[in-house]
Amino acid sequence: MPEPLHRWVPVPKSGESDGDLAAELGESVGMVMDNDQVDILNAIFAEDEPEVPTAFEAAVVAPRQNIKTSTLEIAALADVFTFGQPLHVWTAHLYSTTQKSFEHMVALVGSNEDLRRRCVWPPRAAHGEQAIELLTGEKIEFRARSRGGGRGFAGVARITFDEALFLSSLAMGALLPTLATVRGAQVRYGASAGFEDSDALRSLRDRGRKGGDPRLAYFEWGAPRVPCLRKGCLHIQPGLPGHQPGCALDREDLWYRANPALGRRIHIDLMRSFRRSLPPEEFSREFLTWWEDPPEDGIVHAIDFAAWKARRDAKSCALDPVVVGLDVSPGRVQVANLSVAGWREDGRMHGELVMSAPGTAWVLPALIGPGGLIERVDPAALVLDGRGPAGSLLPEIRAAGLDPRVLTSGERSQADEGLVAAIENDQLRLPRLPMPALDAAAEAATWRESGDVRYFDRRAGGAAPSPLVALSLARFGLLEVAAVPPRRPGPPPEAIPDAAPTSAGRELDLLHIGF
């Protein structure tokens, strides 16, 4: 088994740990802890004095499906069943993830008749009320995180942050103060490698890698970053055009170095399938623990520009139907942008910026004038953000007989988030024709937080990120009018002469629309 790439464990003043008792509980529910898991449990349950853990914080960063969640689940069960802690709060970024952990821990308890008899059975399972509760009052509560989630948990002794890469300072501010009055409290973190905006987790990482923190236990499994054989390799998946022999992501020795469960709980053939199917950025982060760190200028960009450039495809074209996105930049000198999105034959989306120019007077003629966009491609919808500067064009657009789809603020956030995910997951391709305004917007785009949602930040002024917003609107609209790619029509039946041609699946030459 590979050792952690980084490990720091403070020495308990008592010289003792009850991690072996937690490991015994794991074995009693069919979860035999390996040496690394016992090492984590020993760090979690080491004490400076009775009921005062040495580590106030304990973090486990490792690839998916390896070691972190299973170990932390056993630690949570040990809190209430073995050590009598009154309350453990288990919290994850998504409700579905919280529910999965709840169901797994319920199954573990249910597999042991002695433990089950000590519980209120069946456990509370209503939405938002999931809990494993002992007849003597100790319990584990399961909560999805939110801006205010966790307030009111007076007396919390233990908290586990699952999916800590998504952990925000707002969630920390809601949950950590609940530990302030609890003697011997502890908070635990489990995560894969962080994104650019995983600031809370990155702070833990930096402290853990440095070592020396007397109140933090830190474990990180991963592979060292190594160069590819060929300079400029984009880590494209094997079997796809552009894959480079000698790509570091194909090195199985690095897979074994990063994944302690590989060859035991994870089969090597499954890892090979992950490499072929997952976008390179996700595979390297999830299975090699290669962090997505922000650039040295400290700005957290919304889009991985290397991934953006990798989505260029000289043969990309859209089928019917297409959707047009319209956006206008804020400021004294406005710039209007028209983008289109449509499905490709391979099931991906095609997207591009078809026009970007100063002012807004040209927009309506470009849409409905002779030779305009509507005449050329007959779009299924026109989408805009009514709360943005493009909203000022609504009266004349409607007066011209058009009925645009106007997004709410929540839908605008979904549109921007969806575009970023589509780029990261290789679900959208871009043509190779020059689109300098769109490229500049993608490279410079940052997020603006608003409560629990975020948008591409317009506050910098200028044209950015308006071309990008136009594309995100077009993509959002396409998913509404055609949630799945259209099927190309087969050849017309020979027995029916003069059959009317169909436009379904028609290839559209968006590269030469022109105005």
413 pLDDT above the threshold of 50: yes
Q: Is 256 exposed, middle or buried (0-12, 13-18, 19+ CB in 10 A)?
A: middle
pLDDT band at 460 (very low <50, low <70, confident <90, very high): low
Decide the pairing of beta strands 46-49 and 16-17. antiparallel
Would you state the pLDDT for residue 488? 56
Crossing angle of helices 436-444 and 466-481, rounded to 10°: 100
Mean pLDDT of 323-346: 91
Region 327-353: what's the mean pLDDT? 91
Which DSSP state fits 147? S
Report the pLDDT value the prediction gives residue 16, as an integer from 0 to 100: 84
Tokens of 515: 């105005």
State which amino acid sits at residue 293. D
Q: CA–CA separation, 99 vs 122, rounded Å?
A: 15
Among candidates 163, 186, 214, which has minimal Cα distance to 57? 186
pLDDT value at 497 more than 50: no
Distance CA 196, CA 418 (A): 17
Instruction: Break the chain into its structural domains and give their ranges.
Output: 6-220, 233-298, 305-481
pLDDT of residue 146: 59
- % residues pLDDT > 70 (the chain): 89
Question: In a 3-state reduction of DSSP, which class is residue 280?
Answer: helix
What percent of the chain lies above the pLDDT cut of 90? 58
Residue 506 reports pLDDT greater than 60: no
Give the C-alpha distances (Å, rounded to integers) separating 154 from 57, 158, 175, 452: 19, 11, 10, 24
Is residue 136 scored above 60 in pLDDT? Answer: yes
Closest alpha carbon to 322 in 344, 302, 307: 344
Q: For tokens 């990309």, what's the residue?
A: 316
Q: Is residue 418 predicted with pLDDT exceeding 90?
A: yes
Cα–Cα distance measured from residue 348 to residue 422, given in angstroms and rounded to the nearest whole number: 9
More confident residue, 46 or 176: 46
For the chain, give the longest Cα–Cα distance.
91
Q: Tell me the CA distances in angstroms from 400 to 325, 368, 380, 394, 513, one per residue in order.
A: 17, 8, 16, 10, 22
Look at the domain 305-481 and name its fold.
Nucleotidyltransferase; domain 5 (3.30.420)
Residue 452 has pLDDT above 50, yes or no: yes
Strands 46-49 and 507-508: unpaired
How many Cα atoms are found within 13 Å in the side-chain-facing hemisphere of 211? 8
The single-letter DSSP state of residue 361 is T
Residue 513 CA, chain-centre distance (Å), reads: 35
Q: What is the token pair recorded at 456?
A: 């591409």
Across the chain, what does the average pLDDT equal?
86
Q: Which CATH architecture has domain 6-220?
A: 3-Layer(aba) Sandwich (3.40)
For the cut 80, the answer to whether the pLDDT of residue 256 exceeds it is: yes
What's the Cα-to-Cα distance from 272 to each of 41, 251, 282, 291, rounded to whole Å?
A: 31, 10, 14, 21
